[in-house]
Structure 1
Amino acid sequence: MTILAETHHSRFERFRDLHNGFFVIPTVWDTLSAIASEDAGFEAIATSSAALGYANGILSSERIQFETVVQKIGEIVKAVQIPVSIDLEDGYPEVTGDIGDSIRRVIDVGVVAANIEDSPARHDVPLVAAEDHARAIARAREAADRAGRGFFINGRTDVFLLEDGLPHSRSVEEAIRRANLYIDAGADGIYVPGQGLSDEDVAQLAVGIRGPLTLLAPPQGTSFAQWREIGVARVSLGTLVIRNAFAAIQTQLAELRDGNVVTAFPAVDIDAVLRRTSPSQVAAE
C-alpha cells in the first residue's frame, strides 16, 4: 500500500513551501502522536529516531532497526493529511546496500522528506568526512529524483554534537563548510542540531548556509521569535514532546498511587480519532 502519487507530490510541495517562511515541526513516534500534532494545527510532522526508539524500548544511543522505522513511518503517513519527514540517520547503508535504496523505501510509504546526518552509526567515533557525506547526499538526491515524486533532503551536520575538540568558533565555520558541501551535492536544506547556540552563532549559520536552516528547539521557556527574525526556516522539537508525554504519565500515575484527585483532561474518544484515518488515502500498487 502506498500514498497516491498525486497526494505525495502535493504533500511534498506543501512541505517545501513551508521553508519560504518559518515553522515549527513536532517529532512524533506513532499514529496517535501524529494525529495529535495534526489536530493541534501543525502543518507538517517529523519522526525522531530517538523518539521512535524510546517508544520501542530502545536507548537513544542504540540503533532502531530500519524495517521497524519503515513500518512505523508508513503507519504514521497513512494516519494524517499533512506532510511527513523522517529522521533517516546516516541512511542505513549497511542494511539496504546503498543510501539510494533507503530513500526509495521511504518514498514508497509516502514520506516526502528526510534528514540525513554525517554522524556515523556509532556515535562514539568522529564525524564522517564532509566529502564522503556529500557523495552520500548526491546518491540520495539521484534516487529521489528517479522516483519522480518530489523529495526534500535535509542534510544534517552534527558538528556541535561531536565537535572533535574544535574551538566553538571553528565549529561554526565547519558547520557552514559542511552545510554548503551538502547543498552543492543536492540537499534542499540543512539541519544543525545543538544546544547552547548564541544568537550570533545562529546568525552566522543563517547567513553563511546557502539553503533553509533547521535548528533544534532550545530549552523549554525559550522563545523562537528571535530565530524567526534572524532567518531560521524550521525548528525541530526533537525529543521534547515524547519526554513531556512521559513526564505527564508519570505525574498522573503518581497522583493515582497516592490517592489524590486525577488531573483533569478533556475526555477524548480515541476510537473516533482513529476512525478518521481514511482508507481512500491509500491505493494498492
Structure 2
Amino acid sequence: MSDPSFTPESRRAAFRALHTEGCFVLPNPWDIGSARYLHSLGFKALASTSSGVAWSLGRADGQLSLDDTLAHLHDLAAATPLPVNADFGDGFGTDATSIDAAVTRAIATGVAGISIEDASADPDQPLRSIDDAVTRLRAARTAIDRSAADVMLIGRAENFFVGRPDLDDTITRLRAYASAGADCLYAPGITTRGQIEAVVVAVAPKPVNLLVGTALPFTLQDIAAMGVRRVSVGGAMARTAWGGLMRAARQIHDEGRFDGFADAASGAALNQLFR
C-alpha cells in the first residue's frame, strides 16, 4: 500500500460511512494474496477470517495466539487500501483488563472494525453468559474510546453457530451487546428470511452483518431489501480454495488423473496481479 492518503483514519471513516445506507459485501481473505485479489475486483472493505488463516498455517480454527492474530491483522491492513474488519474471537482475555489490552493492540494494527463473539469453546456450555459477554464488549468499547480511533465494534451472538438456535435468546443477546456499545450486530448462522428480518428489526437502527457461508436462496439485492447493511462470508472462500486443492490432489493420488487443474487460475494473470 503505497498511497499515503490511505491512513487508518481515512479508512475507518470510509468504513463507518459504508454502514449508513445500502448493503455492501466485505469478503474474507485469509492472506495477503487473497486480500489483494479481492481489492482488485473492487470490493470496498475486507474482513479477516480466523478459520481461513488458521488453516493456511496448518492449525484448527481457534488455535492461533493473540500474537499470531495481531501479526495477521497487521499484514491484512497493510496489504491494500481497504478498511479491514478484525475477526477477534472472544477478545483474547480472561477479564476486562486483559481484553482491554488485547483490543488496544488490535487497534494499533490499523483495522477499522473489531468483532467480539460470545462463544465459549466449552462443548458443555458453548455460549458465555450474557453478563460475561457484555463485560467483554464493554472492555473493548473502553479500549476503543480511550484510543480515540474511530474503530467500529461488532457484537456477535453465536447461538446458531454453536448449535443453540434460539432466536429469542439471540435477539436478547444482540440487544444487550448494542447497549454495551456495539456499533454493529452479527448473528452468524441465521439463514431464513424470518430470522434475518427479525434480527434487523430487533436491533434497529444499528446495522446488521449477515454471514453467507453457504449457498442461500437470496441475492445481495434480496438481502439488502431485508434491511441488512453488510454481508461477510467467513471462511467460505478459504474453504472453496481448499476444496479445489483437495479434489485435484485426491484425483491425482486415487486415479492418476490431472483433470482437477482444468479450472486452475492462470499463472500469468496471477503474476500480473501481484507484479
Contact 2:95–2:136 at 8 Å: present in 1 too? no
| Aligned counterpart, 1:34 | 35
After TM superposition, the structure 1 = structure 2 runs for residues 245-256 of structure 1, keeping only pairs within 5 Å, are: 245-253=241-249
| Aligned counterpart, 1:228 | 224
- SS of aligned partner of 1:268: helix
Shift of 1:122: 3.6
- The yes-or-no answer on 1:209 pairing with 2:203 is yes
Residues 67/122 of structure 1: CA separation in 2 closer, same or farther (3 Å cut): farther
After TM superposition, the structure 1 = structure 2 runs for residues 24-103 of structure 1, keeping only pairs within 5 Å, are: 24-60=25-61, 62-94=62-94, 98-103=98-103
Contact 1:46–1:87 at 8 Å: present in 2 too? yes
Q: Take 1:272 and 1:198, find their aligned partners in 2: how far apart are those partners?
A: 41
Contact 1:5–1:149 at 8 Å: present in 2 too? no
After TM superposition, the structure 1 = structure 2 runs for residues 171-182 of structure 1, keeping only pairs within 5 Å, are: 171-182=166-177
Q: Under a length normalisation based on structure 2, what TM-score does the superposition of the two structures give?
A: 0.87
Detail structure 1 runs of 4+ shifted over 3 Å in the superposition. Answer: 3-6, 94-97, 121-124, 250-257, 259-262, 264-275
Unaligned regions of 5+ residues in structure 1, if any? 276-285
Unaligned regions of 5+ residues in structure 2, if any? none
- Tell me the percent identity: 27
Contact 2:96–2:139 at 8 Å: present in 1 too? no
Shift of 1:260: 4.6
- SS of aligned partner of 2:153: strand
Shift of 1:132: 2.3
- SS of aligned partner of 2:85: strand
| Aligned counterpart, 1:281 | none
Residues 261/191 of structure 1: CA separation in 2 closer, same or farther (3 Å cut): closer
Q: Under a length normalisation based on structure 1, what TM-score does the superposition of the two structures give?
A: 0.84
- SS of aligned partner of 2:262: coil
Shift of 1:175: 1.3
Shift of 1:177: 1.3
Q: Take 1:260 and 1:185, find their aligned partners in 2: how far apart are those partners?
A: 53
Q: Deviations over 1:143-179 (max 9, x none)?
A: 1111112100000011222355xxx5xx222111111
Contact 1:90–1:121 at 8 Å: present in 2 too? no
Q: Take 2:57 and 2:260, find their aligned partners in 1: how far apart are those partners?
A: 30
Q: Take 2:259 and 2:184, find their aligned partners in 1: how far apart are those partners?
A: 49
Residues 132/94 of structure 1: CA separation in 2 closer, same or farther (3 Å cut): closer
Q: Take 1:72 and 1:98, find their aligned partners in 2: how far apart are those partners?
A: 20
Q: Which has the higher contact order (CA 8 A, sep 6+)?
A: 1
Residues 19/156 of structure 1: CA separation in 2 closer, same or farther (3 Å cut): same
Residues 137/121 of structure 1: CA separation in 2 closer, same or farther (3 Å cut): same
Residues 268/103 of structure 1: CA separation in 2 closer, same or farther (3 Å cut): farther
Shift of 1:72: 1.3
Letter in 1 for 2:192: S
Residues 126/244 of structure 1: CA separation in 2 closer, same or farther (3 Å cut): closer
- SS of aligned partner of 2:70: helix
Q: Take 1:261 and 1:92, find their aligned partners in 2: how far apart are those partners?
A: 40
Shift of 1:9: 1.3
